[in-house]
Chain A
Amino acid sequence: MILIRNGQVHDGSGQVLANTDLLIDAGKIVQIGQNLKAPGAQVIDAEGKCVMPGWIDPLSGWGTAAGRGQARDNDETSDPLTPQLDVVYAFDPDSMMYQELWGYGITAAGVAASNNNVLGGSAAVFKAYGRTTETMCVKANAAMKGSVDEKVKQTYGPRNSAPMTKMGIFSALRELIAKCGSEKDEDQKDPKVQAFKPVLEGKLPLILSCNTKAEADAVLKLFENMPVKLVLANLYQLNESLLDKDCGFILGDLTDGFNKYNAAVNYAALFSLIKAGKPVALSAFGDAVSPGREILMWNAHGLMAQARRLGADLSSEDVLKMLTSIPAQLLGVADRIGSLAEGKDADIVVWSGNPLETFRALPEIVVISGEIVKGEKA
């Protein structure tokens, strides 16, 4: 057992609890309260420190493609439509561990196919620390990942093969949707159809990368009147028209200077989406291949600076939600991670200061699945 005592607990769903203890046993948070007693537990003194849930980078290539010169095992560009692929088979625990994501507060990530395929396959959620794919996996088949952005056209167009245009991308999607509705036996046995049907039935979220408003509009049009659980990713060109759309959002990386779209985000519209309670998560990857572990936090900082510039009301607890409980919700893993509550996985970071309020903040102690991976060892 581990007792994290007397910290300022930011639970990831908006609450801040002063002088609060967390008791951890068998990988889970078993009790949250004041003056907890736990004879025999390893005690971590968190007085004056900031205790947060580990952050979740919801849409990434961590463990599959990170690092320059490494094989990109999440990038099967032999066919633009590969919903039948499963990113679990691309995942390399050593590659994930090598990045030490917890050094910047990240304890889990949504791992998905690249943005180069219209449908890249099913995404999974992994812990940042562990020994095997199996033990690190929080949820396999957490969502279907695809892309309608220019990366698809840039991948297949130069080969003179479809899709070369946005028409081609949506034609491929429509054809698959039609096949899913077909009664023919050969269609129903098609692994692509079998992989995509749960999406159309609303059983599996669909995360689609779209950089522009036009791409997002086309996606919304394609799936209107279908019970599809849509998550629009990257989406730099968002605007207020998305306020009445029932979908989730993963904002793409704002730091990459080679991205054509991320310097012109409509922040006023973004802040209205957030204020309206739409689930908007932050992320680090965008179209970049190998960002560093700092990028997720830097995106949070960039967002807060834009809020200050515009005088928008965005508290550090709001931003913490975008790094924790909201990505957990979008990936369907909120029952296990993304907030500090009794019964949840013990993925906890004890910061020397609030990293969303000062640069003088280091993750002094990091606990993942109840194991101390950084800081005081037992």
Chain B
Amino acid sequence: MKRLIRGAKILTMGPQGTLEKGDILIENGKIAAIGEQLDCEDAEVIDAAGLTAIPGIVDAHSHIGGFEIATGAQDVNEMVRNVTAEVEVFDGIDPLSPSFKEALAAGVTCSAIAPGSGNVIGGVVCAVKSAGQGTVESMCVNRHVALKAAMGGNPKGVYGKRNQTPMTRMGVASVLRQYFRDVQEYMKKQEEAQNDPAKMPKWDPAMENGAKVLRHEMPVKMHCTQFDMITVIELAKEFNFEFTLDHAWGASDYMEPIVAAGCPVIFGPIAVAKGFGESIKIDIDSVVEMDRRGVLCAIMTDGPVYHPWLIVEQAGEVVRYGAPVERAIAMLTINPAKIIGCDQRIGSLEAGKDADIALFDGMPALDPAAVVKMTLVNGEVVYQSKGC
């Protein structure tokens, strides 16, 4: 099956840059070619004149498919203990959740679904496309994106009320420290056993996931804001793990340490009333500065907190505070794809990559009335708006 998207303005977010008027040839679910006036007689043609094509949007921090608004069901917060590093969100996602359809209508084609943030270590994050064959497996791009952890108010709120640790930020840090010490111990025992099954420690999935982190096979996805970010940076140094700063409200007050840490930042969601403590500063303008200084930045919806279209709205806010539009689009596409370890397949429009494409009427993140006309996942048209 071949498809040809014809005559769109194309922001490839890859080596081909921006084409003012170009074509995208799709073959077997992949992008076969991008260029001007491509010829392909046997392709189904999608007339995209006047539309803007960008790579399918990647939401690097979401919980859709795990929380269901209509029923109140939640399957991603296994808060029975403050550390549940053994659970995988892969097992908690409803592939038929209406949230995925809503995501497609907003051009969001892939989301990193995070467990938590009720406990300190919530489990393993997985990246899924918004369309598949009705199973999580068919939607999954990366089953082990990161180990999710949460600082601050969320775990404090859950365990403090139970008179359990962590009741304070000191408690959160000590729970994390203890976990990684246990993992180090576990890894040491494994090494000393030298493959002798009799000497091997009992197989422990929570420790195995921590070992992946300490072997740099996956980062820790840290829910953190304000000065919790500094605690994260210090813990990462202590145990030598990679991490992302998720939410990151107040980043403008911690600019130097964040830049020095070299970690990615997944910012948002904003538009929360200013409060105290964690919500004393909700500064999306900090993203402009972080991006300028080389921090790999992405924007999140924290779905289902906000509807999926708000990811583009927030990218628009980054533009409002001074970022070039192309940088804001990168924060919706190639940057999050890199952060969640999926950029070999998605995040930019390049020959050989998955044909996940959002076609907008209007320039997203610049024109506030820009709206998705069509979304493709693996080369299939999975959303089409009225009048298209």
Q: Tell me if chain B binds chain A.
A: yes
B274-317 vs A: 1/0 string, CB under 8 Å?
11110100100000000000000000010111110110010011
User: Is B371 engaged at the interface, CB distance under 8 Å to the other chain?
Assistant: yes
Q: Roughly how many angstroms separate A98 CA and B279 CA in the complex, as a whole number?
A: 12
A289-320 vs B: 1/0 string, CB under 8 Å?
01111110010111011111111000000000
Interface-facing stretch out of B27-35, B38-46, B265-273: B265-273
B358-378 vs A: 1/0 string, CB under 8 Å?
000110011111110100000
Cβ–Cβ < 8 Å partners of B272 in chain A = 68, 290-292
Cβ–Cβ < 8 Å partners of A67 in chain B = 273-276, 279
Cβ–Cβ < 8 Å partners of A262 in chain B = 307
Within 8 A of B (CB), among A256-308: 256-260, 262-263, 290-295, 298, 300-302, 304-308
> B275 and A68: CB pair below 8 A?
yes
User: Is B137 engaged at the interface, CB distance under 8 Å to the other chain?
Assistant: no
Q: Roughly how many angstroms separate A309 CA and B309 CA in the complex, as a whole number?
A: 13
Cβ–Cβ < 8 Å partners of A359 in chain B = 316-317, 319-320, 365-368
Chain B proximity of A299: nearest CB distance (Å): 10
Q: Roughly how many angstroms separate A176 CA and B379 CA in the complex, as a whole number?
A: 61
> B369 and A304: CB pair below 8 A?
yes
Cβ–Cβ < 8 Å partners of B361 in chain A = 308-309
User: Is B387 engaged at the interface, CB distance under 8 Å to the other chain?
Assistant: yes
Partner of A290, one of B273, B305, B367, B387: B273
> A255 and B69: CB pair below 8 A?
no
> B69 and A258: CB pair below 8 A?
yes
Q: Roughly how many angstroms separate A292 CA and B284 CA in the complex, as a whole number?
A: 13
> A257 and B270: CB pair below 8 A?
no
Cβ–Cβ < 8 Å partners of A98 in chain B = 274
Within 8 A of A (CB), among B62-86: 69-70
Within 8 A of A (CB), among B232-253: none
**Also in contact, A308 and B362, with CB within 8 A (given A358-B367, A359-B316, A360-B319):** yes
Number of A-B contacts (CB under 8 A): 115
Q: Interface residues of B toward A: which range?
A: 35 or more
> A308 and B371: CB pair below 8 A?
yes
Cβ–Cβ < 8 Å partners of B279 in chain A = 67-68
> B310 and A360: CB pair below 8 A?
no
> A256 and B306: CB pair below 8 A?
yes
> A255 and B310: CB pair below 8 A?
yes
> A257 and B273: CB pair below 8 A?
no
**Also in contact, A255 and B275, with CB within 8 A (given A304-B368, A358-B368):** no
Select from chain A the residue with minimum beta-carbon distance to B385.
A309
Q: Roughly how many angstroms separate A155 CA and B154 CA in the complex, as a whole number?
A: 24
> B386 and A309: CB pair below 8 A?
yes
A90-107 vs B: 1/0 string, CB under 8 Å?
000000001110000000
**Also in contact, A260 and B69, with CB within 8 A (given A306-B371, A359-B366):** yes
> A305 and B370: CB pair below 8 A?
yes
Cβ–Cβ < 8 Å partners of A310 in chain B = 386-387
Q: Roughly how many angstroms separate A67 CA and B279 CA in the complex, as a whole number?
A: 8
User: Is A357 engaged at the interface, CB distance under 8 Å to the other chain?
Assistant: yes
Select from chain B the residue with minimum beta-carbon distance to A298.
B313
Chain A proximity of B68: nearest CB distance (Å): 11
Q: Roughly how many angstroms separate A242 CA and B305 CA in the complex, as a whole number?
A: 31
**Also in contact, A291 and B387, with CB within 8 A (given A305-B370, A305-B371, A359-B365):** no
User: Is A333 engaged at the interface, CB distance under 8 Å to the other chain?
Assistant: no
Select from chain B the residue with minimum beta-carbon distance to A356.
B368
> B271 and A298: CB pair below 8 A?
yes
Q: Roughly how many angstroms separate A202 CA and B270 CA in the complex, as a whole number?
A: 40
User: Is B380 engaged at the interface, CB distance under 8 Å to the other chain?
Assistant: no
Chain B proximity of A334: nearest CB distance (Å): 26
User: Is B94 engaged at the interface, CB distance under 8 Å to the other chain?
Assistant: no
Cβ–Cβ < 8 Å partners of A311 in chain B = 387
Q: Roughly how many angstroms separate A68 CA and B275 CA in the complex, as a whole number?
A: 6
A53-70 vs B: 1/0 string, CB under 8 Å?
000000000000011111
Cβ–Cβ < 8 Å partners of B271 in chain A = 255, 291-295, 298
Select from chain A the residue with minimum beta-carbon distance to B275.
A67
Partner of B275, one of A290, A306, A357: A290
Q: Roughly how many angstroms separate A286 CA and B70 CA in the complex, as a whole number?
A: 17
Within 8 A of A (CB), among B334-383: 361-362, 365-371, 373
Chain B proximity of A92: nearest CB distance (Å): 13
User: Is B208 engaged at the interface, CB distance under 8 Å to the other chain?
Assistant: no
Q: Roughly how many angstroms separate A356 CA and B316 CA in the complex, as a whole number?
A: 12
Partner of A99, one of B274, B307, B387: B274
> A257 and B69: CB pair below 8 A?
yes
> A305 and B368: CB pair below 8 A?
yes
Cβ–Cβ < 8 Å partners of A356 in chain B = 368
User: Is A36 engaged at the interface, CB distance under 8 Å to the other chain?
Assistant: no
User: Is B326 engaged at the interface, CB distance under 8 Å to the other chain?
Assistant: no
Cβ–Cβ < 8 Å partners of A357 in chain B = 367-369
Q: Roughly how many angstroms separate A66 CA and B373 CA in the complex, as a whole number?
A: 36
Cβ–Cβ < 8 Å partners of A292 in chain B = 270-274, 282
Cβ–Cβ < 8 Å partners of B277 in chain A = 69
User: Is A361 engaged at the interface, CB distance under 8 Å to the other chain?
Assistant: yes
Cβ–Cβ < 8 Å partners of A259 in chain B = 69
Q: Roughly how many angstroms separate A263 CA and B306 CA in the complex, as a whole number?
A: 11
Cβ–Cβ < 8 Å partners of A291 in chain B = 271-273
Cβ–Cβ < 8 Å partners of B309 in chain A = 302, 305
A67-97 vs B: 1/0 string, CB under 8 Å?
1111000000000000000000000000000
> A361 and B362: CB pair below 8 A?
no
Q: Roughly how many angstroms separate A357 CA and B320 CA in the complex, as a whole number?
A: 12
Cβ–Cβ < 8 Å partners of B276 in chain A = 67, 69
Cβ–Cβ < 8 Å partners of A177 in chain B = none
Q: Can you list 8 contacts pairing A with B, beta carbon distance less than 8 Å? A: A255-B307, A258-B305, A290-B273, A291-B272, A305-B370, A359-B316, A359-B368, A360-B319
Top-6 shortest CB links A-B: A292-B271, A359-B316, A304-B369, A290-B273, A301-B368, A67-B275
- 10 more contacts with CB within 8 A, not counting A292-B271, A309-B373, A359-B367, are A257-B304, A258-B69, A259-B69, A294-B271, A298-B271, A304-B368, A305-B368, A305-B371, A308-B369, A311-B387
